[in-house]
Amino acid sequence: MSERLLYLSRNDVKGLGIDPGEAREAVLAAFRDHAAGLNRSLPKSALGLGPGHGFQAMTAASQPSGIATLKWVSMAPVGPNSPVPGINALICVSDYESGAPLAVLDGDEITLIRTAALSAAAAARLAPAAPRTIGFVGCGLQAQAHLAAFNALYPGLKTALAFSRSRSSAEKLAQVARTSGLSAEIASDVDDLLARSDIVISMVPGAPGLKPFLDARRMKATAFASAVDIGRSWIPESLPAFDVLATDSLEQSKAPYDVDGNPVDSVAFGHDLVALAGTPHSTAPAGRSFFCFRGFALADLALAHLVVTRATERGIGISLPR
């Protein structure tokens, strides 16, 4: 049994420069392994304390990767332009066979990468083949991670539309988009953003008094939406406008969630990434598709394995005594 424990800080993880395409493929591989019965994972356990406030635990084990992971996440409401992060995470990594602790990682950067990788993995199975315009509803760090992930997946993207309650975050995302070679606009009308976008990413944080305002009926007849916000920003009555609705794991989620965190009764998921990772949907790219997910522990495990392997190869991180 090792008497050392690897610690990787946020800067350590960020400094590894994990490629978005590599992250996407690692997530897809983990879901294919799960479909083959080689992984185990429990649905997310959540302790809610109020709108946008609570704690979550996510556990998974992978025989092919040789590790088991626990991700501990805290969430708290923050105001626009707050210097304090609203989400904080740690990931503990153990050896699959012996159970010996191997590493503790800051989970914030991994959460950014894996969340965008999940959206991109779903898009690779559901979205139109050659999207040109991507719209962001919510323009924080997660939007920047999604921009990188979708640029890697779709090099033919031309335009990014940014809509946010914070003008400064929308301007920052627009600048990042321009730096990456896209034209960018700050949208003042969310219905116009929906009508013009081939891909929509919604990332609206939970907050007291939030009312759903995204209408799926406003979207193009052929388009893809990823609800990073678990669906809270989408008008429940409009969700039947989607031809295909999918999630990360049907074992974990049966329907999108409303502003109170309860499953909506207007639609139900018909597909999940466990099945789609191996077999892309045959008709979704020709219609409207919706991917809504709470975050499956296997995606965090896939990124943790990639990060720990890369850091060990490069000698990055701090070796601590147990």
CATH number reported for the structural domain that contains residue 228 in this entry? 3.40.50.720
Task: State whether 302 and 289 are in the same domain.
Answer: no
pLDDT at residue 37, rounded to an integer: 95
pLDDT at residue 1, rounded to an integer: 52
Buried b (16+ CB within 10 A) or exposed e, 176-199: bbeeeebebbebeebeebbebbbb
Q: Indicate the SS3 state at residue 137.
A: strand
Read off the tokens for 246. 């999918």
Given the structure tokens 């979207």, which residue do they identify? Answer: 219
DSSP string of 197-260, one letter each residue: -SEEEE-PPP-TT----B-GGGS-SSEEEEETTTTTTB-GGGGGG-SEEEES-TTT-SS-B-TT
Task: State whether 308 and 221 are in the same domain.
Answer: no
Task: State whether 153 and 287 are in the same domain.
Answer: yes
Task: State whether 93 and 133 are in the same domain.
Answer: no
Task: State whether 221 and 312 are in the same domain.
Answer: no
Q: How far is CA 310 from CA 13, 17, 59, 203, 316, in A?
A: 10, 10, 22, 29, 8
CA angle 58, 59, 63 (to 5 degrees): 145
Read off the tokens for 273. 């990434």
pLDDT at residue 107, rounded to an integer: 94
pLDDT at residue 2, rounded to an integer: 66
Task: State whether 281 and 216 are in the same domain.
Answer: yes
Domain count for the chain: 2
CB atoms within 10 A of CB 222: 17
Summarize pLDDT for 157-213 with one digit per residue, the tens: 999 999 998 899 999 999 999 999 999 999 999 999 999 999 999 999 877 788 999
CATH number reported for the structural domain that contains residue 87 in this entry? 3.30.1780.10
Task: State whether 53 and 154 are in the same domain.
Answer: no
Q: By residue range, what is the domain housing residue 50? A: 4-110+298-321
Task: State whether 105 and 149 are in the same domain.
Answer: no
Task: State whether 267 and 303 are in the same domain.
Answer: no
Given the structure tokens 């003008």, which residue do they identify? Answer: 167
pLDDT at residue 80, rounded to an integer: 67
Task: State whether 142 and 260 are in the same domain.
Answer: yes
Q: Of 63, 57, 24, which Cα lies nearest the Cα of 40?
A: 63
CB 37 within 8 A of CB 61: no
The ranges of the chain with pLDDT < 50 are none
Task: State whether 23 and 134 are in the same domain.
Answer: no
DSSP string of 47-114, one letter each residue: EEEETTEEEEEEEEEETTTTEEEEEEEEE----TT-SS-SEEEEEEEEETTT--EEEEEE-HHHHHHH
CB atoms within 10 A of CB 234: 31
Q: Of 191, 122, 196, which Cα lies nearest the Cα of 158?
A: 196
What is the rounded distance in angstroms from the CA atom of residue 130 to the CA atom of residue 133? 10
Radius of gyration for the alpha carbons in the chain, expressed in angstroms and rounded: 19
Task: State whether 49 and 123 are in the same domain.
Answer: no
